[in-house]
Amino acid sequence: MKTAVGMKPSEWSASLDAWTIYGAESLGERFARETGLQPCWPTTTVAAVNATLGQTKGVTERVKGPPDEALALGYDVADALADKYALGIARPPQFGRGSRFDAAVRALREAGQ
């Protein structure tokens, strides 16, 4: 699906980093501007990410920002795009964030998206 704006979801998602935590609002605006499509991925909040990092990783340097600021995780974005635009393309279960991200981008490419 080549959009009116020009960038396919596969090209756009490949420009992301699986490990990066993005501001959901600015990422959604960028996606709409560069693809002509509406964002479709789940979001979380600064507070939720910080709670998870503190509990699971013991991380002391946490994500900065208002607790209710919406965030998007790179691997979740790619997963959601593949779920929406790569229907019918098999993606075996993946257990790492990088593997999930790579499988989602591959599925989008295979679907011609």
- Whether the per-residue pLDDT at 23 is higher than 70: the answer is yes
Choice between 96 and 34, residue whose per-residue pLDDT is larger: 34
pLDDT for 48-62, tens place per residue? 988 887 766 666 667
| Predicted model pTM | 0.86
pLDDT of res. 75: 93
Q: Is the distance from CB of 66 to CB of 58 less than 8 angstroms?
A: no
Amino acid at 31: F
